[in-house]
Amino acid sequence: GAVVSQHPSRVICKSGTSVKIECRSLDFQATTMFWYRQFPKQSLMLMATSNEGSKATYEQGVEKDKFLINHASLTLSTLTVTSAHPEDSSFYICSAQSHKGAYEQYFGPGTRLTVT
């Protein structure tokens, strides 16, 4: 299957700072990427849909000014957590959507964010 990388895999930051997470589709062009937040006990929450060349579409309850998403190319989407707080600590996962067939998702390995 397709490969999606995510960087960094782990990051620790101080409260009030910003953190950028990169998601790269390595072997196919992804018009659409998704960002998820995974809570303890495995629940996966879709945060936003990232479309190349256009503004991201955020799910209800997700603050777009806090979670900035940029999808500047067909292989790269970034999520910036601005003014991070301890409650933003979580596991963030991105996925790239296949643009044909069943439109399945190819997931990155995730980023563990800890805000101190």
Question: Footprint of another protein on this chain (CB under 8 A)?
Answer: 1, 4, 6, 32, 34, 42-44, 46, 49, 93, 95, 97, 101-110
Least distance CB 79 / another protein (angstroms): 14
26 burial via Cβ count (<10 Å: 0-12, 13-18, 19+): exposed
Angstrom CA distances, 69 to 17, 41, 66, stand at 17, 26, 10
Q: Token pair for residue 100?
A: 């044909």
Least Å distance, CB 71 to another protein, is 14
Name which of 16 and 109 has its Cβ closer to another protein. 109
Amino acid letter, 44: L
Closest to another protein by CB, 25 or 95: 95
